[in-house]
Amino acid sequence: MRKLFSLELILIVPLTSLAGQTAAPDPVQVKPPAVRRAVAPSTTATAESLEQKGDELKAEKAFLDALDYYRAALAKKPESALLYNKACITEILMQRFKEASHDCERSIRSDRQYADAYNNLGVVYYEERRAGKAIKQYEKALQLRSDSASYYSNLGAAYFSKKEFEKSVLAYNKALELDPDVLERTSRNGVTAQLPSPDDRARFDYEIAKLYAKMGLSDQCLSHLRKAMEEGYKNINNVYKDAEFAGLRKDPRFTTLMATRPAAIPE
């Protein structure tokens, strides 16, 4: 059985400065270029040992070193779809999207049935803000593996970035049916990065709250309702009439949340 190596969308966002801060902000400093820290790959090592070392270095976020080891392994196993896919993931983490797309395509050429490679190529397109092309790759991945919650989650993010909300909700609903924790385990900023409008970001959280309410997952539902209010969702009073929230309306925590009405966070 092939091991699965697939990305769910994650984006790290910077912390905002403290409100009312009187001192001058710290100057922006450019980080020094990434450097290699590990010993160069041995020419006598096996492909398997090189791959394992690459995995260890990637886990340590030593991405350049990890790529060196994956390339050395590929020199010994030049048709390995798995190794090309691992190189692709590493390059995505480095935001080297052009190189990542090339390695994903090589992975697919080596194994046309490798679902993760299609998904990860979709991630590349999504990060490049080419949601339409991303959707095509996610759909190819799902044709090969229809039981992957992360594929459906990524598909939902791509549809949401195109403001195709009904299709997005259907994809997210399927993702949550397969894995109720899929959205809590990964950063929601993967989709909000593609939603410049505060209204769209707020609607995203409201729609996700509806899905959790439908599944009876009150904690997650309330969490996303709060986020929707903090993002200034204008139709928040729909919680009193949308059928999905009928059960939640009996929860004292819902009453407290709606009474306190968290203020919208300024942009």
Distance separating alpha carbons of residues 85 and 94, to the nearest angstrom: 14
pTM tops 0.85 = no
Q: What is the pLDDT of residue 52?
A: 97
Distance separating alpha carbons of residues 116 and 6, to the nearest angstrom: 5
**pLDDT digit string (tens) for 39-90?**
889 989 999 999 999 999 999 999 999 999 999 999 999 999 999 999 999 9
Give the HSE-up count for residue 200: Cα atoms under 13 Å, Cβ half-sphere: 17
Average pLDDT, the chain: 85
Whether the per-residue pLDDT at 15 is higher than 50: the answer is no
Whether the per-residue pLDDT at 236 is higher than 70: the answer is yes
Is 150 in contact with 8 (CB distance < 8 Å)? Answer: yes
| Lowest-pLDDT choice from 20-29, 154-163, 175-184, 245-254 | 20-29
Distance separating alpha carbons of residues 5 and 187, to the nearest angstrom: 18
Distance separating alpha carbons of residues 174 and 194, to the nearest angstrom: 21
Cβ neighbourhood burial of 250 (10 Å; 0-12, 13-18, 19+): exposed
**pLDDT digit string (tens) for 136-169?**
999 999 999 999 999 999 999 899 989 898 899 9
User: What is residue 243's DSSP assignment?
Assistant: G
**pLDDT digit string (tens) for 78-133?**
999 999 999 999 999 999 999 999 999 999 999 999 999 999 999 999 999 999 99
Instruction: Give residue 240's pLDDT band: very low, low, confident or very high (50, 70, 90).
Output: very high
Cβ neighbourhood burial of 161 (10 Å; 0-12, 13-18, 19+): buried
